[in-house]
C-alpha cells in the first residue's frame, strides 16, 4: 500500500500534467479466478510496496505474500475485489471477522466498546491486504475498492493490522480514511501491530468518533 498526503487530486489537461485516465473497473473474483491471477497479484504487491530511499523497514517478500494469500483464501467468507484498466491497478481482499472477537486477541487494553459491539453483531470485515499501484488518483481508487468490499459484505467497519515498523503503510492507510485505534500483539507472534479500523456509513463514523490514537507523540502510527 502506498500513498502520499495530497495525492488523488484530478488535474485538467493543459495545466502541465497528463490528462486524467479513465476510472478503473472493479471486479469481484471467485477463488478459482484468484488462482489464475496469483502472479499478477504478487507483482502488484511488490510494486505497491516499493521501498523508498532511506526507509529502514523491509517488507515481507513476494513469496511471503503468496503464502499468506493461500492461507487467507481458505478462510470462510474470503472475498477479493480487483481494480483494472489495461492492467491490474488495485486489489483488496479479506474475510468477515467472527462475532466471538477472536480476531482482536492480543489487543493492548480494552477494545473500544463501539468496535466490540460491531464485532459481536457480525458487521466487521478484516482486510488482509489493500494494494494500490502508485498513481496521482490512488486515494480515490483505494476508497472505491474499500467501499466495494464493505458493501458486498454489508459490513459497517473494516479492520486491519499493520506492522508497527511499517510507517509508510500506516501513513497511506490513514490518508485513505483509516483510524489507528491501538496496539495488538498475537500471543505466539514476535511482531507488534497497529490495529486500524475504517468506519463505513455516517452512523458508524459518528459512533467511533474520537478513537484515533496518537502514539509516540506523533500522528497515527508515530511521528
> How much is the pLDDT for 82?
97
Nearest to 173 by CA among 62, 71, 49, 27: 49
> How much is the pLDDT for 212?
57
> How much is the pLDDT for 136?
76
What gap in Å lies between CA 195 and CA 13, rounded to an integer? 40
What gap in Å lies between CA 10 and CA 120, rounded to an integer? 40
Q: List residues bridging with 132 in a β-sheet.
A: 90
> How much is the pLDDT for 57?
79
C-alpha cell at 24: 478503473
> How much is the pLDDT for 11?
40
For the chain, the C-alpha Rg in angstroms (whole number) is 17
Map grid coordinates 474520537 to a residue. 210
> In terms of DSSP H, where are the helices of 49-186?
62-73, 113-120, 138-152, 167-175
> How much is the pLDDT for 221?
36
> How much is the pLDDT for 205?
74
Residues of the chain with pLDDT under 50: 1-15, 18-19, 214-223
For 69-98, the DSSP string reads HHHHHTSTT-EEEEEESSSEEEEEEEEEPP
pLDDT digits (tens, 9 = 90+) for 180-211: 999 999 988 889 999 999 998 777 777 777 66
Q: How far is CA 55 from CA 52, 96, 166, 168, in A?
A: 6, 33, 9, 9
Residue pair 110/101 in contact by the 8 Å Cβ criterion: no
Residue pair 155/200 in contact by the 8 Å Cβ criterion: yes
> How much is the pLDDT for 142?
93
C-alpha cell at 171: 501513513
> How much is the pLDDT for 65?
95
Residue pair 171/162 in contact by the 8 Å Cβ criterion: no
**Cα torsion at 197, 199, 205, 209 (round to 10°)?**
0
> How much is the pLDDT for 16?
53
Q: What b-and-e string marks burial along 91-103, b requiring 16 or more CB atoms within 10 Å of the CB? A: bbbbbbbbeeeeb
3-state secondary structure of 113: helix
> How much is the pLDDT for 1?
43
The DSSP code for 23 is P
Nearest to 1 by CA among 216, 119, 161: 161
Amino acid at each position: 500500500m502506498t500513498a502520499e498526503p495530497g495525492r488523488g487530486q484530478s488535474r485538467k489537461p493543459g495545466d502541465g500534467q497528463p490528462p486524467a485516465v479513465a476510472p478503473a473497473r472493479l471486479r469481484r473474483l471467485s477463488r478459482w479466478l484468484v488462482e489464475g491471477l496469483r502472479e499478477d497479484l504478487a507483482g502488484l504487491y511488490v510494486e505497491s510496496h516499493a521501498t523508498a530511499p532511506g526507509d529502514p523497514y523491509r517488507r515481507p517478500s513476494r513469496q511471503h505474500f503468496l503464502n499468506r494469500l493461500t492461507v487467507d483464501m481458505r478462510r470462510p467468507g474470503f472475498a477479493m475485489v480487483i481494480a483494472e484498466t489495461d492492467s491490474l491497478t488495485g486489489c483488496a481482499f479479506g474475510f468477515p471477522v467472527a462475532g466471538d472477537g477472536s480476531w482482536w486477541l492480543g489487543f493492548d487494553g480494552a477494545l473500544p466498546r463501539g468496535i466490540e459491539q460491531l464485532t459481536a453483531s457480525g458487521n466487521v470485515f478484516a482486510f488482509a491486504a489493500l494494494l494500490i499501484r502508485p498513481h496521482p488518483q490512488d486515494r480515490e481508487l483505494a476508497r472505491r475498492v474499500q467501499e466495494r468490499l464493505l458493501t458486498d459484505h454489508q459490513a459497517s467497519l473494516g479492520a486491519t493490522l499493520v506492522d508497527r515498523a511499517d510507517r509508510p503503510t500506516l501513513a497511506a492507510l490513514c490518508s485513505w480514511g483509516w483510524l489507528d485505534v491501538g496496539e495488538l500483539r498475537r500471543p505466539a507472534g514476535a511482531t507488534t501491530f497497529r490495529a486500524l479500523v475504517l468506519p463505513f456509513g455516517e452512523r458508524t463514523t459518528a459512533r467511533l468518533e474520537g478513537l484515533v490514537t496518537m502514539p509516540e507523540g506523533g500522528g497515527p502510527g508515530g511521528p
